[in-house]
Structure formats: C-alpha cells, structure tokens
C-alpha cells in the first residue's frame, strides 16, 4: 500500500476504508472484510455510531496476528463535543469503543463550535502520545488558512468532499502551502450524478481493463490525494483497493481534469445557514 508522509513525519496509507453510513450491526463484518482484502487505514467517526463495531473487528484482527502498528485508525469528534473539556471526554469515549490505547488520526469533524478549545485538547492528547496526528474535516480554504495561522501545531490532514466533479484544486494548493494532507471522502459521490456511468471515465477504464471506480481512485492516488472509500461488498472492496498495478497517462489525467465542475453532490454547502443548523441537531453521545 502506498503511503503519504504527514507534516509530523507520520506515514498514512493513501487509500483507506471509510465507514460512513455503515450501520453498527454490520460494521464489524465490513471492517473485517476490508482488513482481509488489504486495507490498513480504517476511517470512522463519533457521529457514525459504529465505533464499537469497528473496535470489535480491530480486536479480532489483532488477536489473529495483525500488529497494531500495521493499522492506521482515524476517528472524529462531532460538533456538540467540540470544546476543550468536551473533546477530551469524547476522545476517551471513542478510544474505549474502539478498544485502543491510541488512535493514529483524530479530526475535528465540522468547522463549528469551540474549535480552538477542541484543538487545545487534541494538541494535549497528541503531545501525550494518545493521538499520532491531529487534523480537521470540512474546512474550506479560508477557514483552514486562518486555523493554520493561529495554531502552533498545524493540522496534518483536512478531510473534505472530493470527486471528478469537485476536484478541489484551490483547496489542494492551500493545503500544500501549509503542509496539510488532503484526504477525500465520497469519491464516487455516494452513487449520485451517475458518475460511475460517465463515458469518459468508462473509456479510460477500458484502456486499462479497469472499472470507473478504479480509474477515479487511481486518478486521486496520482494527484497525491488520500481517500477513504466505502463499500459493504467484499468484492467491491477488493476492486477498490486494486489500483496500484496501473498508471494513468498524461492524456487520461487531463481528460479527468476537464470533468471538474466544482459541483458538490450535497444539496447544501457547509456555509449554508440551514445546513449548519441541521448539522447542529445531530447529537451523538
């Protein structure tokens, strides 16, 4: 598995398994399948309500001989727990559910509430070695810039939505400036917009005997973009991880670049007032 080196020297797999919308009752089986086909980065979050299932799978894997240092586990703190004392409590709760002594990456899930208080808590946990790297999620370039300018410890990662119709080129340039690794979620737009039926991507796939999904993931790898991809189907998991045996040429990369529309697959942006209010109504334990 190809890795990227974060700004604190920690190495992170460039391709990981995401568990958004993976229900608790199937999370253990899904993560076990993902680990069996070769994933080592597992992405979860407090608000996904599946950390216990993820933890059960990790426990079985380590009991079966997988070394903890081979795994890269990332989780996130939700809005209602973003604040110095609240984040410390939320982290302990997530760690307990995951059954781990530390997590490899801990993210602020949304750019709301007491961000600086949460960052102080996360910085403390990082210095104590209970988190190997700290970062953020869903931070637009302006918010990320301000955050980097006003914190001693810079985020190692910013996880944001990204796919061929939303390529996040400006965001990537800002992250490079501050040494922040870009990580995408929803690379297939959660199946919306018929992205997996796109003719240009399909024709590129035929050239390499690869699927559209594999073309998208390979395109991201070649851009140096980390990505967490989700499937509950083991065969699809294997398909998604099988992207390191071919390389897109310059013409392919340009053809995909021209698909960019700066178009989110969500109905509303994180800057929309109604969306902000909606996100605040979700209150995980």
Q: How far apart are CA 133 and CA 4, in angstroms?
A: 13
| Cβ count within 10 A of residue 222 | 14
Asked whether the CA dihedral 95, 97, 101, 106 is positive or negative, the reply is: negative
CA distances from 166 to 169, 245, 257, 279 (A): 9, 25, 10, 21
Q: Catalytic: which of 17, 48, 126, 185?
A: 48
Q: Is residue 116 annotated as part of the catalytic site, yes or no?
A: no
Give the residue numbers marked as catalytic: 48
């Amino acid at each position: 598995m190809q890795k990227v080196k974060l700004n604190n020297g920690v190495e992170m797999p460039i391709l990981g398994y995401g568990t958004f919308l993976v229900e608790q009752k199937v999370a253990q089986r899904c993560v076990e399948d993902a680990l069996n086909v070769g994933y080592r980065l597992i992405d979860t979050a407090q608000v996904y309500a599946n950390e216990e299932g993820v933890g059960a799978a990790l426990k079985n894997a380590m009991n079966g001989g997988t070394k903890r240092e081979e795994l890269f586990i990332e989780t996130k703190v939700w809005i209602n727990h973003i604040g110095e004392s609240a984040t410390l409590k939320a982290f302990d709760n997530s760690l307990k559910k995951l059954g781990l002594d530390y997590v490899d990456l801990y993210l602020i899930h949304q750019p709301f509430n007491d961000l600086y208080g949460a960052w102080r808590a996360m910085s403390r946990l990082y210095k104590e070695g209970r988190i190997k790297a700290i970062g953020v999620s869903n931070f637009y370039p302006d918010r990320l810039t301000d955050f980097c300018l006003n914190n001693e410890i810079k985020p190692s990662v910013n996880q944001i939505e990204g796919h061929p119709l939303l390529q996040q080129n400006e965001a990537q340039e800002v992250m490079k400036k501050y040494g922040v690794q870009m990580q995408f979620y929803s690379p297939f737009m959660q199946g919306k917009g018929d992205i997996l039926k796109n003719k240009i991507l399909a024709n590129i796939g035929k050239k390499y005997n690869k699927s559209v999904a594999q073309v998208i993931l390979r395109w991201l790898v070649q851009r140096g973009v980390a990505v967490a991809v989700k499937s509950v189907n083991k065969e699809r998991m294997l398909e998604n991880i099988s992207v390191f045996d071919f390389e897109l040429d310059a013409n392919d990369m340009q053809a995909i670049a021209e698909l960019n529309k700066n178009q989110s697959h969500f109905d509303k942006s994180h800057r929309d007032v109604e969306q902000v209010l909606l996100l605040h109504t979700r209150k995980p334990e």
